[in-house]
């Protein structure tokens, strides 16, 4: 099994996810969103599966700094904003690679254990 983890190094949940997969000797591809902006197609996969609201971390400090805590925008505008501001995302975003790709948002060890 291989997974791709999208996150930032400072995120506690991202570090926990990387440690979870490392302890289980799962091949992990880490994408640091502070060094490399996410591609629109990558985020679109998560939006199609969960909806844009599930991706937003409305409790984050960055949301407050930008004054977006109660903002409502179209899905397209949120996508544009998330591409520029990865700290608005609920991290980590994890994608299982291979024949039966699966996606998760946030720390979700219970579901990761079910992946085989």
Strands 93-97 and 2-7: antiparallel
Terminal CA-CA length for the chain = 7
> In this predicted structure, which of 32-41, 65-74, 92-101, 102-111 has the lowest mean pLDDT?
65-74
Q: What is the largest CA-CA distance in the chain?
A: 41
Domains of the chain: 2-114 (3.40.30.10)
Mean residue pLDDT of the chain comes to 91
State pTM to two decimals. 0.89
């Amino acid at each position: 099994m291989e997974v791709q983890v999208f996150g930032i190094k400072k995120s506690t949940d991202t570090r926990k996810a990387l440690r979870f997969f490392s302890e289980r000797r799962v091949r992990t591809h880490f994408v640091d969103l502070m060094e490399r902006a996410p591609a629109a197609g990558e985020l679109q996969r998560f939006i199609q599966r969960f909806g844009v609201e599930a991706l937003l971390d409305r409790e984050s400090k960055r949301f407050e700094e930008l004054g977006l805590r109660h903002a409502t925008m179209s899905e397209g505008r949120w996508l544009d904003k998330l591409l520029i501001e990865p700290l608005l995302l609920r991290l980590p975003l994890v994608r299982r690679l291979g024949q039966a790709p699966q996606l998760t948002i946030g720390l979700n060890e219970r579901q990761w254990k079910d992946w085989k």
